Structure 1
């Protein structure tokens, strides 16, 4: 995938040399130009309200994920299709009225979706600001099967607007905006495959949570011995991969259990959820690297990214809470390895 620049627009585009990721930032002054912003989409935008058009587009694309935000200031009729084999999930950030998405009203807390090959038909309100993710549908459904034991494509079906509560929409909106802000601050960290993997899985988890109906079913009864076995196998796997940034999805795949089962097992046996447990392991991995690093030649952000930390301010806060000092303090006290 190549970052691109179209004539007649203010632009700031960048692509990694190894094509691991691309970044696009564009200010637009024409609906046709704005329609061409999304890489590998086929779209046409017709401006319906009178006035000067202005828009803003931001996109980060890495591995299976295309995350973007677009803002427009005129009523626009959007038609087109996304790239083949994709699934898009989006939630508005700001609207000044109701839009009309594929035959249904679209409001602030609507979660909209589009599958590759389906026709987009969207009449936006005058002020329209939306954040969305387009991803490889096979990668997304595989994650949901392995980690959540859910068939999300069957759950979505032919829906174009996914039923969700205001809290679900707000949580997804906040998370995706945080992703964009983090990538805006440190886009070069996307060159680390561990960070891209962790971020992709975090995005998938947030989408699955957003399309999950309220679950009032009782907690499944799992024998204590089974829960203990799950935790023992998980810890054995962790010990065998002590130098790798293991994720919850890795454990679910290896143990062939759902995230929910893993959560209950860790909570019962260790009184700690698996996310916190794995975060602690990864923080210790960062600390070991920092203690032996050369302060003159190592960047904390790069070390954190290699251990799958994509939100650096959260990382620094978690590190300080765990060890009582900032990562920079550890690095300053480091003893670089000596070479004969």
Structure 2
């Protein structure tokens, strides 16, 4: 068993800390980011707990060789990850979700050759029904386990690793041995308002230097502005203007972190920000630091890595 602990003060760094998962996170809520990951890996099984203080948009590609089961500790959007059931992530090219501030998730991954009955409707988001008390007990056991691991310097001793492995395997057997064998297909990913947000997301990223206006999005999707507003408010908790602007600001931030030798104005222009004072104000509002401060930190990190 291996245990990895990560504490990150940057959302881009946080997204890259989960080995094997290809993720891109966009900070959509203003403030200084702080996130934690506890990653426990055993033989054919993995448990990680991820939490963060700010609202994020998640885009991820997870390992196709495993089933991934989600047990939320705190996730306000219960329509995506209900607290009273186990959610099975779908086998797909890309999965996205929007997390509210102070989210806290447990995810357990198991090799696909186990519990082959999970293959039914594997390309859909599904839920497994299990008794409320059993689910609460296992979730609390894993929550306290990960709480404890965050306090252990240098990782747990070998004798304790065996106990943790046993508890992890026992929890999986209890949950999947006593849940419904007919997963409930969840329509969340396919309902109209989620489709609208997804399409707007894609259309904005397809033209980063000339992002479509709200009117253009409504015209292309053949919907009213009210429908657009309602869809974003329900799915992201934000207006379409704020959400889509945050995506573009995050793209500028990733560019500055990746290439600290570039000019800030050039990075901003690539995402359609040509008014520098407006861009700097919105960037500082979202990330609580100036673009130049981001660029400086990135340049320092590059020097330290040489």
TM-score normalised according to structure 1 size: 0.45
**Which structure exhibits the higher relative contact order, with contacts defined as CA atoms closer than 8 Å and separated by 6 or more residues?**
2
